[in-house]
């Protein structure tokens, strides 16, 4: 049986953050990412899943195994319908924190992946997409 | 309630993290360790993270906090066994764990703690 190419995982509690990490690890292995890249992707997923729970009030992680020629990669989308981020530019500044973390959540996460995009609107929600290629 | 066991070895406390920790579990460990250091007058804490295949900013912060609070309580903390992929990821994430002592394995971590104690 051919493995699933896409799927979704609820991210609503602390336990879901652990589950999201485990799903990301399993998929990263399937995509043939080497160990360091698996670890980077899983760590990025953990950071974003926690943001979804804490700041977004819960949401989902959508995943997709992507292919481009002989390359394979894993794309993860973290989306919530929370309060959103008022100043995306500020949130992407190194060292910036809303108060609970170390101030490396989003900028640190961006360094761990190959592709990173953040869309957010106050009152609508936040959507962060990351991708890592093998 | 789910807890990470803390073992006592003479003047030292030994913690081996073998589960994928959710945030509350990490916070409970932090509190439990502070309480145990106080109760046992331990002089050193050894945290083995060799089974962890990921350390994110939350777990990193926990390690930082444990290290800091044990210092305030007159005990040293040494973190041992960090996997290379985890170390690379942590540095790239921007988490350098300042003030946290590390050693490659439990044996060398124990040596480090003993040296510190002898030097005092």
Closest B-chain CA to A100: B58
Given B53, B57, B86, which is nearest A47 (Cβ)? B57
| Residues 6 or more apart in contact with residue A15 via CB below 8 angstroms | B22
- Yes or no: say if B83 and B53 are a contact pair by the CB < 8 Å rule: yes
- CA nearest to B74, candidates B107, B118, B37: B37
Tokens found for residue B41:
């007058």
10 Å Cβ neighbour count for B2?
9
The average pLDDT across B31-37 equals 97
Q: What are phi and psi of B102, to 5 degrees?
A: -130, 155
Q: Is B53 on the interface with A (CB under 8 A)?
A: yes
Q: Does residue B1 belong to any structural domain of this protein? A: no
> Collapsing DSSP states into helix, strand and coil, what is residue A1?
coil
Give A81-97 pLDDT, tens digit per residue: 999 888 888 888 766 56
Question: What tokens does A35 get?
Answer: 């160990």
Range of the domain at B90: 6-119
What is the tens place of the pLDDT at every residue in A109-124?
A: 999 999 999 999 999 9
Q: Measured between alpha carbons, how far is B91 from B94 in angstroms, rounded to an integer?
A: 5
Q: What is the pLDDT of residue A89?
A: 80
**Residue B98: which CATH number?**
3.30.750.24
Residues A96-113: tens digit of each pLDDT: 565 555 445 788 899 999
- Across the interface, of B21, B23, B89, the residue whose CB is closest to A40 is B89
Identify the pLDDT of residue A102.
46
Contact (Cβ atoms closer than 8 angstroms) between residue A91 and residue A106: yes
For residue B64, the tally of other CB atoms under 10 A from its CB is 20
* Shortest distance, CA B91 to any CA of chain A (angstroms): 9
| Domains of chain A as residue ranges with CATH | 6-133 (3.30.565.10)
Chain A CB within 8 Å of residue B54 CB: yes
d(CA A112, CA A12): 23
Supply the ipTM of this predicted assembly. Answer: 0.92
Handedness of CA B89, B57, A91, A8 (dihedral sign): positive
Looking at per-residue pLDDT, the higher value among A97 and A62 belongs to A62
Structurally, chain B folds into a number of domains equal to 1
**pLDDT tens digit string along A35-54?**
999 999 999 999 999 999 99
Between A94 and A130, the more confident residue is: A130
């Amino acid at each position: 049986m051919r493995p699933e190419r896409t799927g979704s995982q609820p991210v609503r509690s602390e336990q879901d953050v652990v589950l999201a990490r485990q799903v990301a690890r399993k998929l990263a292995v399937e995509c043939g990412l080497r160990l360091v890249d698996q670890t980077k992707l899983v760590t990025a997923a953990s950071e974003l899943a926690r943001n979804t729970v804490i700041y977004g009030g819960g949401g989902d992680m959508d995943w997709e195994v992507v292919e481009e020629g002989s390359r394979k990669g894993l794309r993860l989308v973290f989306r919530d319908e929370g309060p959103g981020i008022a100043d995306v530019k500020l949130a992407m500044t190194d060292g910036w924190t809303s108060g609970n973390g170390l101030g490396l959540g989003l900028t640190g996460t961006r360094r761990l992946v190959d592709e990173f995009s953040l869309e957010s609107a106050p009152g609508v929600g936040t959507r962060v997409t990351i991708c890592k290629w093998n | 309630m789910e807890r990470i066991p803390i073992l006592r070895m003479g003047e030292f406390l030994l913690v081996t993290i073998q589960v994928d920790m959710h945030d509350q579990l990490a916070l409970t460990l932090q509190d439990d360790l502070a309480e145990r250091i106080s109760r046992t007058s331990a002089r050193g804490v050894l945290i083995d993270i060799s089974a962890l295949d990921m350390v994110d900013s939350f777990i990193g912060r926990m390690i930082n906090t444990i290290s800091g609070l044990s210092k305030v309580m007159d005990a040293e903390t040494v973190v041992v066994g960090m996997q290379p992929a985890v170390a690379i990821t942590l540095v790239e994430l921007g988490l350098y764990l300042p003030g946290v002592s590390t050693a490659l394995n439990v044996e060398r971590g124990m040596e480090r703690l003993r040296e510190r104690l002898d030097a005092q």
